[in-house]
A and B are shown apart, each in its own frame.
Chain A
Amino acid sequence: DAGVTQSPTHLIKTRGQHVTLRCSPISGHKSVSWYQQVLGQGPQFIFQYYEKEERGRGNFPDRFSARQFPNYSSELNVNALLLGDSALYLCASSLEPQLFYGYTFGSGTRLTVV
């Protein structure tokens, strides 16, 4: 069974551009969460989606948005990219949002903004 898959694996964008990152959860998992990991720090929560609805949002500006599709895959969109958006973006899936069953993370998308 495939794990959490993210695409692309690496991406280079210019300041001011827009980016879309994609995540496919483990089959049967209905909850998807997005995290941003800046170099040298632990991951920080951006969004959680469950059954296509936003369940929670971290302390990120409105330039960050996301959605979840009927097949439970998800997209993270970032507009007007800044140099500080350079980070590893991690997607995690779980059976349900209560975290009793823990998270499974994908390998991430490494975004570089120049």
Chain B
Amino acid sequence: GIQVEQSPPDLILQEGANSTLRCNFSDSVNNLQWFHQNPWGQLINLFYIPSGTKQNGRLSATTVATERYSLLYISSSQTTDSGVYFCAGAISSGSARQLTFGSGTQLTVLP
């Protein structure tokens, strides 16, 4: 079954608006992380957040591990926030730890 599921798949905002992105993950997934992929393909690590809440400027994230979900909040959005946001969790595969990614949320912030 699906191990990491993200919603919504697409989001269009006006500059200055706030948004919430959601990630649901299965029991086999842990060590949740949020990434932002810019238009050039670079994946930037936003948060390593296996549980609890973290904030970094206009971005914050909350993971409720017992309920298997994580939320990424973007406040006062800017056009530079556009791109694809992925959540990913670690699963064990033999002695390796691989990241399993969701299908992403495509965010477009309009000026």
Residues of A whose CB lies within 8 Å of any CB of B are 33, 35, 37, 41-45, 48, 55-58, 88, 90, 92, 97-100, 102-105, 107-108, 110
Instruction: Assess whether B103 is in contact with A110, with CB atoms less than 8 Å apart.
Output: no
- For chain A, what secondary structure do more than half of its interface residues adopt (helix, strand, loop), or is it mixed? strand
- B45 interface residue, CB < 8 Å from A? yes
Residues of B within 8 A of A57 (CB): 93, 96
Instruction: Assess whether B101 is in contact with A56, with CB atoms less than 8 Å apart.
Output: no
How many A-B pairs fall under 8 Å by CB?
71
17 contacts across the A-B interface (CB closer than 8 A): A41-B103, A42-B102, A43-B43, A43-B86, A43-B101, A48-B96, A57-B96, A58-B93, A58-B98, A97-B96, A97-B97, A99-B31, A99-B90, A99-B97, A102-B48, A103-B33, A105-B42
Instruction: Assess whether B97 is in contact with A42, with CB atoms less than 8 Å apart.
Output: no
Instruction: Assess whether B95 is in contact with A55, with CB atoms less than 8 Å apart.
Output: yes
Residues of A within 8 A of B86 (CB): 42-43
